[in-house]
Structure 1
């Protein structure tokens, strides 16, 4: 009876589209599932293509900007060592220094699960197109994996395989189960797209590759390699199997900056608002230590010279409280907002970017470099991939001519951090690792080099940078100035996750209770995720 009802509803839906578009071409919907005939109307297809726009724009939400600030900037962007707020929000006790703010910490969850978010719209594509439009469904699978791996990498267990099922509560999957499903979905999607990579039906809905499915296969392969590397310490056998699928796939990986996965949102990047309108974000002290220490020319593109120290880039220590000597947040902000802003791409009067970068070809080479260290077939040579990753990143910033000297530098190291406003924030550099590859180094040293350079190249995607820091312990990021976790987070080990959000705790308490069992630890910021094991141990 259930199947009959489903068939009736599906037929009614198709007929409604046909009548609304004034066409009698019912047979073409069933005889050409991978394409559209000229006779099929715009109305017939918009229902399957329409959900893609909100999927694209909610992986990293563009608008309103304050949503993005809570989804990424006041957590991952700071935890990663990329950025830091000059203002000690909430009287100096906030998520950046582990004094969690429930309202803030639910946004990485609420945005993808909202009625206009990723999961609901991916579900619509599945319901409307899994059978009749398999290419479109495959693309939705890839995008859902890209979006939701970021969510599970924040919280751990998430609602995934059982999303949308009729039940009294939303049941969570363990992170291991979620990752296994990611791999299955990417396999299915890559195989589907490979059957007809020249099909143009997605072009009008594509905010990244303009409908070029060969590019989508490259992205999906690189995404699978990213996730394989992510689980390489907790499940090395599974990681190698999945990684080698990507390394051997004829569709290839991202290779040049023309392949970068960059969403064309069409509106000003929200970081621009935080950076040059609200003055709520500045360079992190860890970025200063590493980029200045390495004499890295990319710093000129990423950040501005500060107004606090003449001719110098100056970062702000992450996790600052309301410091002694200040009576309120705005007094302290006034002293720290003159530290280095983000660069021209994020300044309102300097033609800011309207694009969101979520994966680059440089990352693909660093993934291959680590895969080579781990002995995976098809990865090539670790040193060659490492150096190519740096070269591609320099090319992305128009600095190709500077790459060779930088790659050969075997003396420069990160520098100590000096706060020109408050000496209590000063801290010594945490590493002496250099840039140049040395085949005589052990694998742990080589891994530190790879991840440090990958971290620089992935800027400004703080979510992915934070995940890699937790997985590997690299680069060595300065700890928070203040730790307001009441002992649940080790200051030196640093934060490992966000607690399950208040929105879930209030509306889905039974689901959260099950999720806490799957977490295998207390629901605090100090509990490691499933893949977060043995950081600092290759």
Structure 2
């Protein structure tokens, strides 16, 4: 329903915009253009159509964060509900936009193709690079849609404008993978064309028309398909990896190769680059994840998640309230344990300094993962993680409540978040209200190289060692998150944007990355089972910014796994009761696609259902997920 509403709004906007053009003063010649026979209307500019396709290339729409990503992040234990997991956590309510994102880019690719097809051959040849770039974005979003739904329309999608059908056929996941690999190889051939090409320049929002970077992007998509093939055709998957990895020119080597883009500041209705205006509430960060990252001094944690509210000023505000006789005012034990303080003759406490690693590390606290654990003895009283209203200070007529926990850092995906720094109840109000045009990242150096590390461990003939790919991938991930923090000006991103006198910025340098990499958990040792788990853990961490990719990684790898010394999987329900795909509801009898959808469901062995039957969504898997390990079981290759 939400998707339909959005489409109708877009249609309405288009109609109203046309009306405005008609009533704001058209010349006679302009009226003539409007009334020209459609077959003779001048075609759009493929370069500008491509820019619009990039604008519509949106793996991060607000529905992802509000619905789909919120589900998957909890299923894979990346986040916890603030009151701990309950018996309904494995059930899905309304779904978001995943499964219907392809159409937004494919319609522009089809427009580009139709425009080029009408050109003389010599002119059309000048757009071969652009054609490949446009197709690559379409394949990426097609893969994005099929991950959780299986069969999807593709070849016949968005073709009605050009004489095609309004009821496109569904294609199986297996056939889609074959077709996409063929198309991507064709794209690579086009990108290597030496024919003089039309200049794209800054109309390419990510790479400025640099075909060398697009070659890497296309090969990155091939690797994404390859890792999804491992349980169905391992030999084919390894062959793809070997084709990609045979030449370093095919592989992203630094964060300058990452697909990072900013859409500009104009427009609305999806063209606005500030991201979602809706809150991104994935839950509270997992304590298992934060403890692992703190233990290994992983600086990505500082950017991925928020600092809690307990800075030195707030801690002192609690001490002051206690000195005034407020017996209900308490500091969480796990925070107080990190504070050096003195007590004067009157019994009043004074904050002196932080213990251990100090700022900013002490400001990160995750929530324990578990089923209905909020009432367990170890999580009550001053060690309570769940009753956040307990952490409240009153000073005269002013009262403030402070959160001791860390959450997903919303300003990584929202450019219009007003951030209020924690201060004492009567402290000054300090805010960051700057709207910052959003920079987003999809395919990256980290992702490609971690995939190659995985393939090397699985036996692929590649020119570098698994350890070399792994090191490059993890370091690139850390640099990428730091870059996003600076570009998006997240809270505390530099010293000038801190507030408390002891605040330290959350951004970091190469020395911090080197400190992280020196830890044994971040080094491969030659033991394939152990090394594979480390690769999957790093993919899991890298994809905190891309929750569906994180879900796919956990689903295909079984990592995090039960009993791990890295990030352990917590068994809360039988792993056969956790959804592995999203549900598909029975089409309405009047739906013209009903027969096609029913046929596709039958061919996949799927049952029409809602989100209340997680065991069904576990046993009825999408094609490439068949044979993959259950959640928490670890790799089974």
Q: TM-score w.r.t. structure 1 length?
A: 0.72
CA offsets 1:414-472 (integer angstroms, 9 cap, x no match): xxxxxxxxxxxxxxxxxxxx333211x2x222111111112223330111111111111
| Whole-angstrom CA distance in 2 between matches of 1:198 and 1:72 | 43
How far is 1:493 from its partner? 6.9
Deviates more, 1:393-402 or 1:232-241: 393-402
**Residue 191 of structure 1 pairs with residue 195 of structure 2:** no
The structure number with the bigger radius of gyration is 2
- Cα 1:481–1:447 change in 2 (3 A) is closer
Partner of 1:69: 65
How far is 1:164 from its partner? 4.3
**Residue 356 of structure 1 pairs with residue 445 of structure 2:** no
**Residue 391 of structure 1 pairs with residue 475 of structure 2:** yes
How far is 1:499 from its partner? 1.4
Question: Equivalent of 2:555, from 461, 470, 478?
Answer: 470
Partner of 1:245: 243
| Whole-angstrom CA distance in 2 between matches of 1:54 and 1:240 | 35
**Residue 459 of structure 1 pairs with residue 464 of structure 2:** no
Contact 2:43 2:115 in 1 (8 A): no
Partner of 1:342: 408
Partner of 1:99: 91
| Whole-angstrom CA distance in 2 between matches of 1:453 and 1:475 | 10
Question: Equivalent of 2:596, from 511, 530, 533?
Answer: 511
Q: Which has the higher contact order (CA 8 A, sep 6+)?
A: 1
| Whole-angstrom CA distance in 2 between matches of 1:59 and 1:505 | 32
Query: Secondary structure, in 3 states, of the residue corresponding to 2:238?
Result: helix
Query: Secondary structure, in 3 states, of the residue corresponding to 2:530?
Result: helix
How far is 1:157 from its partner? 1.2
Deviates more, 1:252-261 or 1:53-62: 53-62
Contact 2:230 2:237 in 1 (8 A): yes
| Whole-angstrom CA distance in 2 between matches of 1:150 and 1:504 | 25
Matching of residues 62-461 of structure 1 within 5 Å = 65=62, 67-70=63-66, 72-83=68-79, 86=82, 97-101=89-93, 104-113=94-103, 117-129=104-116, 132=124, 133-164=127-158, 166-167=164-165, 169-196=167-194, 199=197, 201-249=199-247, 251-266=249-264, 270=275, 273-275=278-280, 281-307=283-309, 310=335, 311-316=362-367, 339-343=405-409, 345-346=411-412, 348-349=418-419, 354-396=438-480, 397=482, 398-410=508-520, 434-439=521-526, 441=527, 443-461=528-546
How far is 1:383 from its partner? 1.3
| Whole-angstrom CA distance in 1 between matches of 2:513 and 2:111 | 46
Contact 1:197 1:214 in 2 (8 A): no
| Whole-angstrom CA distance in 2 between matches of 1:339 and 1:305 | 8
How far is 1:198 from its partner? 7.8
CA offsets 1:119-171 (integer angstroms, 9 cap, x no match): 32222222223573332221111001111111111211111123246457432
| Whole-angstrom CA distance in 2 between matches of 1:356 and 1:314 | 26
- Aligned-residue Cα RMSD (Å) equals 3.8
Query: Secondary structure, in 3 states, of the residue corresponding to 2:147?
Result: helix
Query: Secondary structure, in 3 states, of the residue corresponding to 1:56?
Result: helix
Contact 1:138 1:190 in 2 (8 A): yes
- Cα 1:379–1:154 change in 2 (3 A) is farther
- Cα 1:47–1:450 change in 2 (3 A) is same
Question: Equivalent of 1:525, from 613, 617, 628?
Answer: 617
Question: Equivalent of 2:58, from 41, 57, 60?
Answer: 60
| Whole-angstrom CA distance in 2 between matches of 1:283 and 1:45 | 50
How far is 1:180 from its partner? 0.9
| Whole-angstrom CA distance in 1 between matches of 2:388 and 2:49 | 41
- Cα 1:387–1:513 change in 2 (3 A) is same
- Cα 1:175–1:505 change in 2 (3 A) is farther
- Cα 1:334–1:482 change in 2 (3 A) is farther
| Whole-angstrom CA distance in 2 between matches of 1:128 and 1:337 | 55
Contact 1:62 1:265 in 2 (8 A): no
Contact 1:130 1:137 in 2 (8 A): no
Partner of 1:5: none
CA offsets 1:76-103 (integer angstroms, 9 cap, x no match): 44444444564899xx897xx23322xx
CA offsets 1:313-357 (integer angstroms, 9 cap, x no match): 2335789899899xxxxx989789763133484454456661111
| Whole-angstrom CA distance in 2 between matches of 1:121 and 1:320 | 46
CA offsets 1:4-29 (integer angstroms, 9 cap, x no match): xxxxxxxxxxxxxxx99xxxxxxxxx
Query: Secondary structure, in 3 states, of the residue corresponding to 2:231?
Result: coil
Contact 2:220 2:448 in 1 (8 A): yes
- Cα 1:153–1:382 change in 2 (3 A) is same
| Whole-angstrom CA distance in 2 between matches of 1:258 and 1:281 | 32
| Whole-angstrom CA distance in 2 between matches of 1:452 and 1:210 | 33
Q: How many pairs are equivalent?
A: 449
